[in-house]
Amino acid sequence: MQKGASSKKVRPRQTQPMPGIEEKMKPHPKDLKAQPTEKLAGKVALITGGDSGIGRAVALLFALNGADIAIAYLPGEQRDAEVVRNAVENEFGRRCLLLPGDIRKERFCEKIVADTVKKLGKLDILVNNAATQTEQKSLTDITTAQLKETFETNIFSMFWVTKAALGVMKKGASIINTTSVTAYRGSGSLIDYSSTKGAILSFTRALSQNLAQKGIRVNAVAPGPIWTPLIAGSFKGKKVASFGSDVPMGRAGQPADVAPAYLFLASEDGAYFTGQVLHPNGGEIVNG
């Protein structure tokens, strides 16, 4: 929430243990509404955090547009992951590989890439999306354990998965990283989280320069307030109730509002984009 901005209740107060389960959210994030195309026909996409929230919406939109999907997620999110697999396979007729585990472990990051190629044949699109956040009133309240968990989940895993992916990705591949509006304006109660999102921004820009001549594009999406399980799992009930009401558009975004940005960057529509960031954030102006 922006400092000094007014807020109003737009949903019931609620909170969940992290990582948050989409099926328990009130209201549920709105379903994707889009027409199928062949923009990603024959492509294979690996999405971390693909069981819920933005990752789930991206997985479904990619499948709708012809891609086979692999999603990495925590074992405690199995139910959400199965809902995604059911939709990908039964509604869209694509393959969906479930990869439960902890992306804070480098070996698991390597394994999900290897398993994707082994089971689905190749890897064309990598979406580094998994993240965690924990509110704290002060920097002095952030323990070393929390700091490590946030950085290992949000940025270390991104290095590890991408490093493994580069061993199998070919010219024309696309890497899309999820950063955040907090990378640009910060957040006083999410200092460690904001720091990782700033690191992701720099990682995206630097890696895009490194890979441009190899024909692999690297971009990012910086969402504003989006109604996902991460919100229900990390904020207190009162803040959850008004979450997103302070942006110019007056509401939190839905994951389905954000997913088209990933589709654009993954497809040939975004063929001349690398090192860039898209900003679905409800009207907040960001620079830099």
Q: What amino acid positions are annotated as catalytic residues? A: 193
Q: Which residues contact 150 (CB under 8 A, 6 or more apart)?
A: 132, 133, 134, 192, 193, 196
Q: Which residues contact 149 (CB under 8 A, 6 or more apart)?
A: 104, 132
The C-alpha atoms of residue 108 and residue 111 are separated, in whole angstroms, by 5
The CA-atom distances, in angstroms, between 153 and each of 129, 135, 173, 181, 274 are 10, 16, 24, 18, 24
Are 70 and 113 in contact by the 8 Å Cβ rule? The answer is no
Distance of CA 117 to the CA centre of its chain: 21
